[in-house]
Amino acid sequence: MARELTFRIMRYNPETPDVKPHLQDFKLKEEPGMTLFVVLNKIREEQDSSLRFDFVCRASICGSCGMLVNGRPTLACRTLTKDLSEVTTLLPLPVFKLLGDLSVDTGTWFREMSIRTESWVHDDSEFDPTAEEERMDNEKALQIYEGERCIECGCCIGGCATANIRPDFIGAAGINRIARFMVDPRDKRTEQEYFEVVGSEDGVFGCIGLMACDDNCPVGVPLRGQIAYVRRKMASAGWKMKVKS
C-alpha cells in the first residue's frame, strides 16, 4: 500500500506581509522513487499553484534547492521520500533572505561573499595565446578541485551557529573558497593579503569549530580540513604581522 504523506510547509509571501509566516499541510500519495522535487512540483501543479521553491538541475549539481527538511539543511532534489516518515516539515534555509515560502536568496549572498573575498585568481600576467599552458601537477589540480566542488547551496551556512547570529560571517563555504585559492599556485596573493580578507571574527576566527557545516555539506566538501588549513595559515600570518609591527 502506498503511504499517504503529509508535508508541513512554511508559507510566507512578501507581497502580503500581513499574513505572517505559518505552516500549511499538504497531503499526497507516495510513488516509487519519489523525491522532494517530484513532491513539490506535484503540490504546485495539483494543489496550490502559488507555492514557491527553487529547483534548476534536479540532480544535486546546481545547489538551488537547499532547505530544512525536518530541521536539517539538505538538497530537496536528492531527498527520497522513502527515507522520510509520514509527516515531513519543510522550512526555508535560515540566514539567507527569504523570497517566499521555501525560496531564499542564496545567489546574492554568495555573490557578495565571492566579491568580498575576491574569489578569483590574482595574477597580473597577460595571457599569451601562443604559449603552451603553464604546467601543474595533477595532484595539485585535484586538490584545487576538491575545494572547487562547493555548489553554493548554503546548507553549511543555514546550519551554522555563528552564521545565524553574525550576519557578516563568511561561513564554511567562504572559508573553503579561500582555501581553494590559497592552494592554487596561480593565485599570487600573499598570506598577509589573505589575512586582510579572512583574518577576522567575520572570517575564519569567528568559527567555533563544532563542525555542523561538515556534517551538512551535501557534496562532501572536506570542510573540516579546509577550515583547519585556513585557520593554521591565518594564525601564522597573524603571528608574523604581530612580530613585525
Partner 1 sequence: MGHYDMFVTDVLVIGAGLAGERAAIESARNGLNVTLLSLVPPRRSHSSAAQGGMQASLGNTAMGKGDNPDVHFMDTVKGSDWGCEQDVARLFADTAPIVMREMAHWGVPWNRVSLEKRIYDGKEIHEDPDKVGLISARNFGGTAKWRTCYTSDGTGHTVLYTMDSIVQKYGITVHDRVEALSLIHDGETCYGAIVRDLRNGELRVYTAKSTVIATGGYGRLYGASTNAVINEGTGMSIAYETGVVPLGNMEAVQFHPTGIVPSWILITEGARGDGGYLLDKNGYRFMPDYEPNKKELASRDVVSRRMIQHIRAGYGVDSPYGQHLWLDIRHLGAKHINTNLREIATICREFNGIDPVHELIPVRPTQHYSMGGIRTNIDGQAYGLKNLYALGEAACWDLHGFNRLGGNSLAETVVAGKIVGEKIAEFTKDVTLNVSTSLVEDHLLMQQKRIENLRAKKGTENVYELRNRMETALNTNVHVFRTQEHLQAAVDELRELHKRSKYIQLRGDGNGADPELAFALRLPGMIRLALTIATGALARTESRGSHFREDYPKRDDENWLKRTLAYWREGASEPELQYEPVKITESQPGDRGYGEATAGAKSGVKQ
- Give the cell for residue 85: 516518515
How many whole angstroms separate alpha carbon 92 and alpha carbon 64? Answer: 12
DSSP 89: E
Site for partner 1 in 134-153 (CB under 8 A): 134-139, 141-142, 144-145, 148-149, 151-152
Site residues (vs ligand SF4, CB under 6 A)? 150-156, 160-163, 171-173, 176, 207-213, 216-217, 219, 221, 223
Q: Which of the choices partner 1, ligand SF4, ligand FES, none does residue 209 contact, using the CB cut-off of 5 to 8 A by kind? A: ligand SF4
Rounded to the nearest 5°, which phi and psi values hold at 87? Answer: -115, 125
The yes or no reply on residue 90 touching ligand FES (CB under 6 A) is no
Identify the bridge partners of residue 88 per DSSP, sorted by sequence position. 7
How many whole angstroms separate alpha carbon 127 and alpha carbon 195? Answer: 28
Q: Which of 9, 39, 51, 77 binds ligand FES (CB under 6 A)?
A: 77
- For residues 92, 95, 96 and 101, what is the CA-based torsion angle, rounded to 10 degrees? 20
How many whole angstroms separate alpha carbon 243 and alpha carbon 117? Answer: 25
Measured from the CB of residue 151, what is the shortest distance to ligand FES in angstroms? 6
H or E element: which one contains 19?
A: none
- Residue nearest ligand FES (C-beta atom): 77
Q: Which of the choices ligand SF4, partner 1, ligand FES, none does residue 161 contact, using the CB cut-off of 5 to 8 A by kind? A: ligand SF4
Q: Which of 55, 72, 123, 225 binds ligand FES (CB under 6 A)?
A: 55
Binding residues (CB under 6 A) for ligand FES: these are 55-58, 60-65, 75, 77
